[in-house]
């Protein structure tokens, strides 16, 4: 996989992409990364990428021409990239979206700055994403978040192939639930113990406890996930009782986040 970014601050990416899991995956050839400076596609002395919005208003907007020229130039070499823009109008980014993007051969993230981007530039987008209902200074952090979430799903990136399957929100073994609670040494810390079943060595009982714990934690902290989680009929009944206990609500399918 090739991941690319287009930004007015291309230097922001390298420190993170070169470290930890991403750095090891990149060194192993699991993915490649390139960052481009949008100002390389400007043609004035000041390398201008922004201008005042028509109709007035606060701040400056990123101009459409440099973005069009840059995306066309980048996409013109090699396989066609899947072009992603970040915007509050975008689809909320989820683990399912990360899994889908992990199957792309090439992704180009276009990172906005200032008060936004000239609307016409979005004609280049194959997809619009939003990280959530808040405002960031620029799209660079969003691009790094999505890159991290996608790369860790690539075969070999984590070493242990089951690591990404058992994580929170994964659609594999965890069935869209939060991950179960985990513990390590010491077995007792300031009177806080580890559940006995985890010390038993009985793998079947450990697996059953982890499943039950994942359901309990999801009902307590993210009950909105229960409706779409892969639960058996018995587990759904248990989830209903847990949600009632924690939130005073009825059936989990009726739950709406507050």
Domains, the chain, in order of start with CATH, read 2-151 (3.40.1280.10), 188-254 (no CATH)
Q: From CA 6, how far away is CA 38, in angstroms rounded?
A: 6
Q: From CA 209, how far away is CA 213, in angstroms rounded?
A: 6
Report which DSSP code applies to 77: S
Q: What is the pLDDT of residue 167?
A: 66
pLDDT digits (tens, 9 = 90+) for 21-42: 999 999 999 999 999 999 999 9
pLDDT digits (tens, 9 = 90+) for 144-200: 999 999 999 999 999 865 455 566 666 554 578 999 999 999 999 999 999 999 999
Given a cut of 90, is residue 255 above it in pLDDT?
no
Percent of the chain residues topping a pLDDT of 90: 87
Q: From CA 195, how far away is CA 127, in angstroms rounded?
A: 45
Q: What is the pLDDT of residue 60?
A: 96
Q: What is the pLDDT of residue 214?
A: 96
pLDDT digits (tens, 9 = 90+) for 239-249: 999 999 999 86
pLDDT digits (tens, 9 = 90+) for 81-109: 999 999 999 999 999 999 999 999 999 99
Secondary structure class of 6 (helix, strand, coil): strand
Given a cut of 70, is residue 227 above it in pLDDT?
yes
pTM for this entry: 0.87
* Best CA proximity match to 228, nearest among 171, 181, 173, 179: 171
* Best CA proximity match to 6, nearest among 95, 71, 65: 71
Q: What is the pLDDT of residue 164?
A: 58
Q: What is the pLDDT of residue 171?
A: 58
Residues 6 or more apart in contact with residue 112 via CB below 8 angstroms: 62, 85, 86, 87, 138, 139
Asked if 180 contacts 213 with a C-beta cutoff of 8 angstroms, the reply is yes
Asked if 223 contacts 252 with a C-beta cutoff of 8 angstroms, the reply is yes
């Amino acid at each position: 996989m090739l991941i690319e970014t287009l930004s007015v601050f291309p230097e922001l990416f390298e420190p993170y992409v070169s470290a930890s899991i991403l750095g090891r995956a990149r060194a192993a050839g699991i993915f490649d990364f390139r960052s481009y400076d949008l100002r390389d596609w400007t043609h004035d002395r000041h390398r201008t990428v922004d201008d005042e919005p028509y109709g007035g208003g606060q701040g400056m907007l990123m101009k459409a021409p440099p973005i069009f020229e840059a995306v066309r130039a980048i996409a013109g070499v090699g396989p066609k990239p899947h072009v992603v823009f970040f915007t509050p109008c975008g689809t909320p980014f989820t683990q399912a979206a990360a899994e889908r993007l992990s199957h792309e051969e090439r992704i180009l993230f276009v990172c906005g700055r200032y008060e936004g981007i000239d609307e016409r530039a979005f004609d280049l987008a194959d997809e619009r994403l939003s990280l959530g209902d808040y405002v960031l200074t620029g799209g660079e952090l969003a691009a790094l978040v999505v890159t991290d979430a996608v790369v860790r799903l690539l075969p070999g990136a984590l070493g242990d192939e089951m690591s990404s399957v058992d994580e929170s929100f994964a659609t594999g073994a965890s069935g869209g639930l939060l991950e179960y609670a985990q513990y390590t040494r010491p077995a007792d810390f300031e009177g806080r113990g580890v559940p006995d079943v985890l010390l038993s060595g009985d793998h079947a009982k450990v697996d059953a406890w982890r499943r039950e714990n994942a359901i309990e934690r999801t009902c307590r902290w993210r009950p909105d996930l229960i409706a779409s989680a892969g639960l058996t009929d018995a587990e759904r009944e248990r989830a209903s009782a847990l949600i009632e206990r924690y939130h005073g609500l009825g059936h989990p399918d009726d739950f709406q986040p507050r």
